[in-house]
Amino acid sequence: MTKLVKVLKLESGSQKDASQSRRRALVAGGAGFLGSHLCERLLRDGYDVVALDNFHTGKRYNLNALQRNPSFSCIEHDIVDALPSDLQCDEIYNLACPASPPHYQADPIHTFKTSVLGSLNLLELARQNKAKIFQASTSEVYGDPFVHPQPESYFGNVNTHGPRSCYDEGKRSAETLFFDYSRTYGLDIRVARIFNTYGRRMQPDDGRVVSNFIVQALRGEDLTVYGSGQQTRSFCYADDLSEGFIRLMNAPNAPAHP
C-alpha cells in the first residue's frame, strides 16, 4: 500500500509551466544510507526530489532534515508493487535494495524481487516519462572473483545457489534488464557498480568492515579481521559516491557498459 509521508506535489497546467526549469528526480530507496545522501545532493543542485522507500532498512530519521524543504517529498511504497500512477519525473535513481548481508539475507526472496520486479517497475516508469534512469549495481556481481582488481569487462565467478545469491544474482539480473530496455526501447540508462561505501548514517549492525571496525573500537574491543588478512577492499566516502552518481547521470552520452 502506498502511504504519503509528506504530500507529493505534482504540478499540472499553469503550475507545471511555472516550474519547468526545475527537474524532478525520483530516488528509490531514498531513506537509505546512500539514498538519503543522494537526496540531499540533488536538493542542493536545485532539483525537486521525490524519495520512494518501504522503510524495511531505510530509516525515517535519515529524512528528518529534508522534510522541511518544500522541494522534497517522500512516498512510503515498495517498488516490488505497482507504482503510483501519477508519478512524474525526469530522472530516476534506483538505490532500492538492502546492501549488507544480514539485511538482504533476512528475506532473500524479497531481496531478489526488489532487484528484478522493482527494476521492471522503474524501467516502465522511465519509459512512460521518457526519463533517464540510473541503476545502483554492486561489486557483488563479480562474486568471488579470480581477477583483481576487477575490470568492468570481467564476467565474474558467481555462486547461483548460495546464501548471497539473492543479492548477487538479483543485481546481475537488474543489469540485464537495464541493458535490454536500452537496446529494445532506446531508454537512456546509467549503471554503476558500487564497492564498499562508508560515511554518515551507516547502520552500526550492517556487517561491513568499516562499521564493524568503528563499533569495535568504540567498545574498546579488538578489531576482527576475517580470513587471511591479505584480502583487499576498495572504499569510497558517501559524498564522493553521490558526486560520481551525478556526474554519470549528467554525462552527455550514456556509456555502453557499466
The pLDDT value recorded for residue 20 is 57
Domains of the chain: 3-197+236-250 (3.40.50.720)
Q: What residues does 8 pair with on adjacent strands?
A: none
Closest CA to 47 of 75, 29, 68, 21: 21
**Does the active-site annotation cover 154?**
no
pLDDT above 90 coverage of the chain, percent: 81
Active site residue: 142, 167, 185, 237, which one? 167
The pLDDT value recorded for residue 206 is 80
| Confidence tier at 31 by pLDDT (50, 70, 90) | very high
77-86, 117-126, 177-186, 228-237: which has the minimum mean pLDDT? Answer: 228-237
Exposed/middle/buried for residue 124 (C-beta within 10 Å: 0-12, 13-18, 19+): middle
Q: What is the C-alpha radius of gyration for the chain, rounded to an integer number of angstroms? A: 18
pTM summary value: 0.90
Closest CA to 135 of 90, 91, 172, 189: 189
N-term to C-term CA, the chain? 33
Helix-helix angle 238-250:33-44, to 10 degrees? 60
The H or E element that residue 128 is part of is helix 108-129
Indicate the residue type of 195.
F
pLDDT above 70 coverage of the chain, percent: 92
Residue 103 CB contacts under 8 Å (≥ 6 apart), including other chains: 57, 206
| Confidence tier at 10 by pLDDT (50, 70, 90) | very low
pLDDT beyond 60 at 19: no
Indicate the residue type of 56.
H
pLDDT beyond 80 at 14: no
Give the mean pLDDT of the chain: 91
